[in-house]
Structure 1
Amino acid sequence: MLKRILVVIVIIVGIVFAFKYCEFKKEDDSTIDYNTNLIQQQILNVGKLVVTEGHFSEVLTYKNQAKYLMDMLSFEKKALIVVNVKVTVAYDLHKMKYDIDEKNKTITILNIPKEEISINPDIQFYDVEQSKLNPFTGEDYNKINKSVKANLAKKIEKSSLKTNAQNRLITELSKILILTNTMGWKLQYNGKVIETEKELSADLKL
């Protein structure tokens, strides 16, 4: 009789431990699911268009000569040109590619989209001089527009606009870094584990 009672007690204890294990397992899985959902939500929040805007101005003079009769006769056209330009540098983080490894609690950024530079010039002509034998044409405007954009591209490279845009990008990505650090996860990029914003900044500027 005592033996039977002991067997029953052992079975009951076994069942209780089994239920407890299942509860712990369920809670652990729930925690992983919660953490993963939280991280995915943060990435969605970061996944937006980051735009930095700059303005440039320049003044230039355009001249052109049309020559006739073996260069003995020429007709000049010229104009003073004032250019005001809005330039935007954008990172579309909707295009960012990443991988979430739940087992190893690791987020790997696979690809960050390159910046998209948009140059929108407003070109105004002043003091225009032309003749019927050498008028301003669409070809002139195309040349001027091409020249303006080429000069502006050089100015943009020398300015702080791209650096400012990259700093804003780093600020957005740091939100993911802060969350992973808080939750005990790891963030990887370029084959390295990123632990600080400084490391993230250094890898982005490689």
Structure 2
Amino acid sequence: MFRFFAGIITAIAVIWSFQYFMGKSKQQEEIQLNSALLEQQIKQVGKLIVTEGQFSQVLSYKNTKKNYFDIFSANKKALVIVNAKVTIAYDLRQIKTEVDPEAKQVRILFLPEPEINIYPDLQYYDVSQDYFNKFDAADYNKIKGSVNKMVQAKIDQSDLKDDAKERLINELSKIYILTNSMGWSLQYQETTISSPSDLDNLKF
């Protein structure tokens, strides 16, 4: 009789152990599948997002050159119409993430800085120049440098950077929605993202 009960207990223990390890194996397999799916979906988010703007300005350029012991002066001047295309890009292909299957957490380790590009189209009007002070490459480079500074100042005063950041947040919210739907959490710089609105408060 003792052997009979011992056999039953042993059988139950074997079945329980089998089910336990099978369940644990399935859980580990599910976590691995979720990890692979998350990594694949995050890669799909990685793309180049570009925000464009247009700025126009009229620039007056004048240069005076003294000659012959400052007795005579030679002038040159021009009216420059500036039409500049501006792009602010976030290359999300550079984003760095870490997937932690044990904690069921995705950590954003690095976000790229915005790349600001200025493409000025310059048209010159009312160009006048004296014989001893003609336009040369240095003048055109100086004008272009002034234009870039002027456009950069306009960018800082506009909403273009905010619009670009908003598009970045929209892309990051896709990662949050994905992780949240799978029961995982999203973290950036020790901050856990609990809702899409938390992304608006992040500093990057």
Note the C-alpha offset of 1:19.
2.6
Q: Which residue of 2 aligns with 1:203?
A: 202
**Which consecutive residues of structure 2, in runs of 5 or more, have no partner in the other structure?**
none
Q: Which residue of 2 aligns with 1:71?
A: 70
* Conservation of the 8 A alpha-carbon contact between 1:98 and 1:111: yes
Note the C-alpha offset of 1:177.
0.8
Separation of aligned partners in 2, 1:171 and 1:93:
12
Q: Which residue of 2 aligns with 1:159?
A: 158
Q: Which residue of 1 aligns with 2:137?
A: 138
Summarize the alignment of residues 37-52 of structure 1 with structure 2, pairs less than 5 Å apart: 37-52=36-51
Note the C-alpha offset of 1:58.
0.9
Separation of aligned partners in 2, 1:80 and 1:194:
52
* Conservation of the 8 A alpha-carbon contact between 1:64 and 1:77: yes
Separation of aligned partners in 2, 1:3 and 1:30:
40
- One-letter identity of the residue aligned with 1:171: N
Identity of aligned residues (%): 46
Separation of aligned partners in 1, 2:31 and 2:2:
43
**Which consecutive residues of structure 1, in runs of 5 or more, have no partner in the other structure?**
none
Note the C-alpha offset of 1:13.
3.3
Q: TM-score under structure 1 normalisation?
A: 0.91
Note the C-alpha offset of 1:4.
4.5
Q: Which residue of 1 aligns with 2:110?
A: 111
Separation of aligned partners in 1, 2:7 and 2:193:
55
* Conservation of the 8 A alpha-carbon contact between 1:190 and 1:203: no
> 2:147 aligned with 1:148, yes or no?
yes
Root-mean-square deviation (CA, aligned residues, Å) is 1.7
Q: Which residue of 2 aligns with 1:57?
A: 56
Separation of aligned partners in 2, 1:16 and 1:197:
45
Helix, strand or coil for the counterpart of 2:202? helix
Helix, strand or coil for the counterpart of 1:136? coil
Q: TM-score under structure 2 normalisation?
A: 0.92
List per-residue Cα deviations over 1:148-171 (Å, max 9, x = no partner): 011111100000100000000000
The count of corresponding residues between Structure 1 and Structure 2 is: 204
Separation of aligned partners in 2, 1:54 and 1:42:
30
Note the C-alpha offset of 1:69.
2.3
Does 170-179 or 90-99 show the bigger shift? 90-99
> 2:92 aligned with 1:93, yes or no?
yes
Summarize the alignment of residues 3-42 of structure 1 with structure 2, pairs less than 5 Å apart: 3-42=2-41
